[in-house]
Amino acid sequence: MIYRLDPAVVWFPGDGEVRFYHPVAREFRTLDGTAARIWLLLAEGGGSAAIAEQAAVAAQDVQEFVDLLLAQGLVRIDRQPPGPGPAEVLPGPAPRAAGG
């Protein structure tokens, strides 16, 4: 399963931490350490297993943290299949004229 940060959340990384503003809760928060690393990997669109591997954290711990973020409305499940969507389809070669 792939996760995406809620686009309404304003955030920025810095000095081993992530600071963000949650507009629904009207709160500023700071994540540090492993939580900040997981957040940054979520921002890249990762799934919990891949994030656990990259962050060198137990998959269960990552999933618990992601579940908490989901419950707080900070993260969403990306239900769009991987690959280009309809708006991202690149045009093919121009059609050839008949007889030419």
How far is CA 73 from its chain centroid? Answer: 13
In this predicted model, what pLDDT tens digit does every residue of 18-32 receive, in sequence order?
999 999 889 999 999
Max CA pair span of the chain: 66
Nearest-5° angle of CA 60, CA 29, CA 56?
30
Amino acid identity, residue 43? A
Task: Determine the Cα–Cα distance for residues 36 and 55; give it in Å rounded to an integer.
Answer: 10
Task: Determine the Cα–Cα distance for residues 43 and 17; give it in Å rounded to an integer.
Answer: 14
CATH 3.30.70 fits 2-76, yes or no: no
Q: Show me where the domains of the chain are located.
A: 2-76
In this predicted model, what pLDDT tens digit does every residue of 41-91 receive, in sequence order?
999 887 888 898 888 889 899 999 999 999 999 999 887 655 554 444 344
